[in-house]
Amino acid sequence: MNMTFAAPCIFGLEGICANELKFLGIQNVRAENGRVLFEGDWDTLAKANIRSRYAERIQILLAEFRATDFQTLFERVKAIEWERFIGMSDAFPVKGRCLSSQLMSVPDCQKIIKKAVVTRLSERYMLSWFEETGSARQIQFLILKDKVSILLDTSGAGLHKRGYRADSNDAPIKETLAAAMVELARVRPNHFVTDPMCGSGTLLIEAAMKAKNIAPGLKRYFACEKWSCVPKDVFARERELAQSQIRTDISFRASGSDIDASALETARHNAELAGVGDLIAFERRDIRDFQLSEGYQTVITNPPYGERLLDLRAAEELYKVMGEKFRREKGKSYTVITPDDDFEKLFGRKADKRRKLYNGTLKCQVYLFLS
Ligand SMILES: C[S@@+](CC[C@H](N)C(=O)[O-])C[C@H]1O[C@@H](n2cnc3c(N)ncnc32)[C@H](O)[C@@H]1O
């Protein structure tokens, strides 16, 4: 069965997300604002869920149409072949968003869509009441500038939940964003990677997982694995293949340090859970005592921003320290994310590359300093 899928992603990461899906051999990949669309079958769906490092979730795009009134919304949703995905006893909650559209009431759109699905399924199954006691099919809708997308979520928990971060410190970076920073820093399986403000270690863990080619979704489940329409073995097959492709022949090494001893405990624990504990050494150190290593070194870090952990002035003091410590030297590169527009001034150097993106709701930039 050929389907169209949507992979919502962090704004600013559409290109990286699309390239990854293309690299996985997926067809008709096209990047849009905040999401990537692609085509495929159930195998494609399993592959994207298990292997994408940058997508927030994978949805089946069931219909796209223009609607400015409830009647059109109802008719178009009712026309979808819901019975292909939803069985008689399955649950099918509806949620979504309306942005810059004539249909702006989320609760009303939710009700209309639910009614349309119930009407369709009542006709197909000859039922007037749905118990909804079975596994869930989360219906999602997006109405953007009067264009309606009707989607079925297949992931369940967001794909940033890899299964290794049970514990978290105060301000962990989202795994999908950490993976994107690793990609922007061009980390390779023979690199030595350092994060001198590593917190719970997310950047280093994502770097090590990528170097080892550990699929990010290998250790978790996806909502659609419970669906009767999904062939039994697709996820098992993809997991087996991904497991067999883990690399053991790499010279990748990483070191993480932080001023906070409890964050380091968490980092060690998370690295073990992620299967990369042997590749990363953690130790307690103030960035003021940071020393560059001999030879090639890729530094990636997510320093405090001021809003959340320290006051802005203290954070900015740290950016000056980083500028002194992160010297321009052959073989060294530095990748830093911060929302502070004065970062380059405080750091004392103009970045060689910059990328705008969002860290949650915070507009940030990733700054790349090359040797
Ligand atoms: C935004 S958090 C990093 C979060 C991390 N990327 C993660 O995923 O958990 C910033 C980190 O900087 C650390 N930090 C603050 N001041 C520091 C200093 N002077 N030296 C080293 N680390 C420091 C904090 O303890 C905190 O863990």
The two structure tokens encoding residue 294: 């001999």
Q: State the Rg of the chain over Cα.
A: 23
pLDDT at position 109: 98
Buried b (16+ CB within 10 A) or exposed e, 129-142: ebeeebebbbbbbb
Q: Is 232 exposed, middle or buried (0-12, 13-18, 19+ CB in 10 A)?
A: exposed
**Quick one: which atom of ligand 1 is closest to the CA of 266?**
9
Stretch 175-186: mean pLDDT: 97
Cβ-based neighbours of 238, under 8 Å, separated by 6 or more: 43, 46, 47, 50, 51
Stretch 189-212: mean pLDDT: 97
Q: Take atom 25 of ligand 1 and give the residue whose Cα is closest.
A: 260
Alpha carbon of 32 to ligand 1 centroid (Å): 33
Alpha carbon of 171 to ligand 1 centroid (Å): 8
pLDDT at position 170: 64
CB atoms within 10 A of CB 2: 9
CA-CA distance, 3 to 60, in Å (whole number)?
Answer: 7
The two structure tokens encoding residue 131: 């118990």
Q: Take atom 26 of ligand 1 and give the residue whose Cα is closest.
A: 199
Residue 280 has pLDDT above 70, yes or no: yes
Each residue of 58-107: pLDDT tens digit? Answer: 999 999 999 999 999 999 999 999 999 999 999 999 999 999 999 999 99
Give the pocket of ligand 1 (CB within 6 Å). 169, 171-173, 197-200, 202-203, 258-260, 263, 286-287, 302-304, 309, 318
Residue 321: pLDDT band with limits 50, 70, 90:
very high
Domain ranges (residues) in the chain = 3-153, 175-215+223-369
pLDDT averaged over the chain?
95
Each residue of 25-37: pLDDT tens digit? Answer: 999 999 999 999 9
Residue 360: pLDDT band with limits 50, 70, 90:
confident
Q: Take atom 12 of ligand 1 and give the residue whose Cα is closest.
A: 197
175-215+223-369 fold:
Rossmann fold (3.40.50)
pLDDT at position 165: 86
* pTM of the full structure: 0.96
pLDDT at position 327: 96
Alpha carbon of 25 to ligand 1 centroid (Å): 37
CA-CA distance, 106 to 96, in Å (whole number)?
Answer: 7
Residue 253 has pLDDT above 90, yes or no: yes
Alpha carbon of 13 to ligand 1 centroid (Å): 24
**Strands ordered across the beta sheet of 147-153:** 27-32, 35-40, 3-8, 59-66, 147-153, 139-144, 94-99
Question: Which CATH architecture fits 3-153?
Answer: 2-Layer Sandwich (3.30)
The DSSP annotation for 288-300 comes to GG--PPSS-EEEE
pLDDT at position 348: 97
pLDDT at position 171: 73
pLDDT at position 361: 87
**Strands ordered across the beta sheet of 297-301:** 280-284, 253-258, 192-195, 297-301, 332-338, 362-369, 353-359
Stretch 138-158: mean pLDDT: 98
Per cent of the chain over pLDDT 70 is 98
Residue 230 has pLDDT above 80, yes or no: yes
Each residue of 105-144: pLDDT tens digit? Answer: 999 999 999 999 999 999 999 999 999 999 999 999 999 9
Each residue of 328-353: pLDDT tens digit? Answer: 999 999 999 999 999 999 999 999 99
Of 113-127, 213-227, 299-313, the one with minimum mean pLDDT is 299-313
